[in-house]
Amino acid sequence: MEFGPGPSTTHRLPPQNLEAEQCVLGSIMLQQGAMPKAAETLTEDDFYRDAHKYIFSAMITLFDRGEPLDLITISNLLKDSNRLDAVGGPTYLAALTDIVPVAANIAYYAKIVREKAILRRLIQTGTEIAGRCYEEQDDIDTLLDDVETTVFEISRAKSGQSYHSLKTVISDTFKYIEQLYERKEHITGVPTEYHDFDKMTAGLQRSDLIILAARPSMGKTALAVNMVQNAALLHKVPVAVFSLEMSKEQLGMRMLCSISRVDAQRLRTGFLKEQDWPKLTRA
């Protein structure tokens, strides 16, 4: 039995939705405040048609400058960059606003465009991987690492470029401050139950990177494990532990020792006393 590469996809049209692309661009020109919603999800490379890439790029430039996004300003910028004729001229730009059913649905249109772009990238990645596999020139471990990295990058980028205007950032920040003001609590994040630490940090906060640094055998891992336990057991917060130096069994023993108060040496060697078992079971 022979195994071939399967049906050819050479002449198949890549995934795209030109109507959704047109609706995104038209909505931006029709509705004030639509641009931040589109920019949160899309980049110019997410558009399939080159003309739409040029138009969206011009919109981003105007938005960054704080200038209005309308037929005149967009046409003028495209003319300055010698791209106005390439996009179809002012006539095509004007037609974009007539295509949009409901400008308020821009987030939905942008989601469609984004999903099609991801599918195209997956197809491109799959084609490149298949080519490398047929060539058989790469070390298998290197190839697997490259595949994993590429797919991970596509997955990580699926939510867009996380583009936020300063106006949106300030508005969201004020809302967050108001929430904190209404709570009237000193600990606004996840408590670790190390009170001095919690007082300094107000608890573990979203997006924070906290590094525990000390000389060897000073208790860094024990401290981190206790913080994990307290967050998970006392405050019911899901926690993941990644360790490059300890196995899952070693981490499990540390947690059991901490909670059960059983001697770590007895647990490691297996020479447990009769009274240790109920403590471990309760832990």
Mean pLDDT is lowest, of 7-11, 80-84, 161-165, 203-207, for: 7-11
* Domain regions of the chain by residue span: 18-159, 195-282
pLDDT at 86 over 80: yes
- Quick: pLDDT tens for 119-172: 999 999 999 999 989 988 888 988 899 888 888 888 776 655 556 667 778 888
pLDDT at 4 over 60: no
Helix-helix angle 106-135:140-156, to 10 degrees: 170
Q: Which residue has the tokens 């949009």?
A: 100
pLDDT at 63 over 50: yes
Residue 273 is predicted with a pLDDT of 78
Residue 81 is predicted with a pLDDT of 94
Mean pLDDT is lowest, of 62-71, 162-171, 241-250, for: 162-171
Residue 188 is predicted with a pLDDT of 84
Query: What mean pLDDT do residues 215-225 have?
Result: 87
Which pTM was predicted?
0.60
What tokens were used for 32?
């004030």
To the nearest whole percent, how much of the chain has pLDDT over 70? 93
pLDDT at 242 over 70: yes
Query: What mean pLDDT do residues 205-218 have?
Result: 88
Answer with the residue of higher pLDDT: 249 or 119: 119
- Assess whether the region 18-159 and the region 195-282 belong to the same CATH fold: no
pLDDT at 6 over 60: no
> How far apart (Å, rounded) are the C-alpha atoms in residues 46 and 53?
8
Mean pLDDT of the chain: 86
Residue 160 is predicted with a pLDDT of 52
* CA 31 to chain CA mean position, Å: 27
> C-alpha angle with apex 233: 230 to 238, nearest 5 degrees?
90
* CA 279 to chain CA mean position, Å: 42
**pLDDT bucket at 9, cuts 50 / 70 / 90:** low
Residue 241 is predicted with a pLDDT of 87
Residue 176 is predicted with a pLDDT of 83
* CA 147 to chain CA mean position, Å: 19
Query: What mean pLDDT do residues 91-106 have?
Result: 93
For the domain made up of 18-159, the CATH class stated in words is: mainly alpha
To the nearest whole percent, how much of the chain has pLDDT over 90? 41
**pLDDT bucket at 253, cuts 50 / 70 / 90:** confident
Enumerate residues 6+ apart whose C-beta is below 8 A from 94. Answer: 71
Query: What mean pLDDT do residues 77-84 have?
Result: 96
Assigned fold of 195-282: Rossmann fold (3.40.50)
Residue 258 phi, psi dihedral angles, 5° rounding: -65, -40
> How far apart (Å, rounded) are the C-alpha atoms in residues 103 and 45?
22
Residue 161 is predicted with a pLDDT of 53
- Quick: pLDDT tens for 19-40: 999 999 999 999 988 998 898 8
